Structure 1
Amino acid sequence: MGRLTTRSQALRIHAEGDGVTRSPRVETLAVEEPLEIRVNGQSLTVTMRTPGDDFDLAMGWLLSEQVISRAAQVATMMHCLDADESGSPTYNVVDVVLQPGVSLSPEVSARRGYTSSACGICGSASIEAITRGGRHNLSLNRTMLQVRVLTTMTEQLEQSQKVFARTGGLHAAGLFTVEGELLCLREDVGRHNAVDKVIGWAGRQDRALDETVLMVSGRAGFELVQKSVLAGIPIMAAVSAPSSLAVELAKETGLTLIAFVRPPRLTVYAHPHRLDSDAKHPG
């Protein structure tokens, strides 16, 4: 498995008043390396990621990009034994084999080289395609969440970001129950990769997502809302701001979108009916 962090020489400069001081130091950096995902021998994408949980990332990408409809359609996943210039394995290629009878659609094959859902998507046409083609109808989802439970999730997310605490350079995505239990947290240099890793973890665990909450450490962009909707997650919360297209997609698809979750305040941008100060877990 590749390294999560590495060390680098740096120069700390402190300027105050008329004085400038320079201090050589060694900094800890988050590792960023490419991951190629191959399906039945065909290369579908290369994404820049933080090594670790690569099978979760591959599974999450396959699900959130609708390459497959369920995790059970994957027969095997393995790292190819590719090597760097020194002959050491890089673990930068995941080879996926689908179950017999499951094949790639022509539309998926045509997307070779498509690096992430953040690339090549736009406007109302994308929203219409997601609304029409998604397998989950979130408008029928009756999950409820207590506001006081939601406000505990940011602290849990922050306390669980072990690599961020050392580097300051990673995004995080956390999957919670509506009671506030942290089920899975993943970190990555790419916010969409962190979300894919969480979705992939759930897929590999055969865990339904219809009564869960996705919390992300940064902003709520269109691509993250898209992944939540296609995975069937009814509630998404972000520490930072949403984009206009993310809000539009949430409203159209029935996703409860919450941003600026900085206790004691938060802002709900779409479908606030799922938040209740006296909410009970649906039976």
Structure 2
Amino acid sequence: MNLPKPLDGAAAIHVRAGSRRAIQRVLPEEAAVAMVYDGTTHAVMMATPADIEDFALGFSLSEGIVTGQGQIASCTVVAQDQGIEARLWLTGDRAEALAARRRNLAGPVGCGLCGIDSLEQAMRPLPDLDGIGPVMTSGDIAGATDALRDWQPLHDRSRAVHAAGFLIPGKGIVLAREDVGRHNALDKLIGAMARQGLDAGQGAFVVTSRVSIEMVQKCAMAGCAVLIAVSAPTLHALRLAEGAGITLAAFARGEGFDLFSHPERLSAEVSDVA
């Protein structure tokens, strides 16, 4: 298997203050990754060509194609001239679930819903996570995105990829994945956690992006009741988080954050200001 490099160099001319010089920049690669189930292509996403097994499993779980790792009999990653195929073979009868979530268009990195062919599929019912999940301190949440910086080697070199990490209160970030697409990074994290047996209900997802509806959907499908982001949520994403019982914290930078939904998971050490 000869996959493209996740990062590579490119020549550029740096112009500043009236002068210019030749430089080399490290840039992230993106490749077409086809999710092929039982011999049929189900989705094609543009993604960073790394951790493809994690991506395939996480995508399968977060899209409801399977409900557990054991429903995937095998997964083979095959490099092609045009991109990469993740060839998955399912156990049992998953044809109905697969048809219900069918995608038929290539999705760009900015949108995780491109290719869905009905509004009902885009707004699918989500699990109710109310009453589960950890209690978080203000320090856990405020420092989450800074802690994730230590898990971003691709970003350190390219400044052009997103990351998603899993934070356990008292332990910090224990696992993370990177990708040019924010939803791809989260899918890779979900897949990596499933392969390592980590329970999403015991911690929080931390993401280096805005919170759009597909990020909340994937969080709910994974059973993670806390989502921490460096940027803002959309109003629709907030409504989904409220309905699914997800604690949504945004603008988590430095010592502060904004808590938008289900504040009951914030520990009592934080007091109201009169």
The question of 1:62 aligning with 2:60 is answered yes
> Contact 1:44/1:113 (CA < 8 Å) preserved in 2?
no
* Mean Cα deviation higher: 262-271 or 75-84: 75-84
- Gapped regions of structure 2 (runs ≥ 5): none
Cα pair distance change 1:178/1:109, threshold 3 Å: closer
The question of 1:80 aligning with 2:78 is answered yes
Cα pair distance change 1:143/1:58, threshold 3 Å: same
Give the TM-score normalised by the residue count of structure 1: 0.86
Shift of 1:226: 1.1
> Contact 2:65/2:101 (CA < 8 Å) preserved in 1?
no
**In 2, distance between residues paired with 1:154 and 1:255?**
18
- Gapped regions of structure 1 (runs ≥ 5): 85-89
Q: Which of 23, 26, 29 is residue 25 of structure 1 equivalent to?
A: 23
Cα pair distance change 1:126/1:146, threshold 3 Å: farther
3-state DSSP of counterpart to 1:11: strand
Partner of 2:142: 151
Cα pair distance change 1:109/1:143, threshold 3 Å: closer
Partner of 1:113: 105
The question of 1:94 aligning with 2:86 is answered yes
Matches within 5 A, 1:173-252: 173-252=164-243
> Contact 1:148/1:277 (CA < 8 Å) preserved in 2?
no
Partner of 1:87: none
Cα pair distance change 1:126/1:263, threshold 3 Å: farther
Partner of 2:258: 267
> Contact 1:214/1:235 (CA < 8 Å) preserved in 2?
yes
The question of 1:4 aligning with 2:2 is answered no
The amino acid of 1:10's aligned partner reads A
- Structure number with bigger Rg: 1
3-state DSSP of counterpart to 1:80: strand
**In 2, distance between residues paired with 1:39 and 1:177?**
33
Partner of 2:154: 163
**In 2, distance between residues paired with 1:229 and 1:128?**
13
Identity, % of aligned positions: 29
> Contact 2:232/2:251 (CA < 8 Å) preserved in 1?
yes
4+ residue runs over 6 A deviation: none
> Contact 1:170/1:187 (CA < 8 Å) preserved in 2?
yes
The amino acid of 2:114's aligned partner reads C
The amino acid of 1:167's aligned partner reads S
The amino acid of 1:32's aligned partner reads E
> Contact 2:166/2:175 (CA < 8 Å) preserved in 1?
yes
Shift of 1:127: 8.1
* Mean Cα deviation higher: 204-213 or 230-239: 204-213
3-state DSSP of counterpart to 2:75: strand
**In 2, distance between residues paired with 1:234 and 1:177?**
12
Shift of 1:181: 2.7
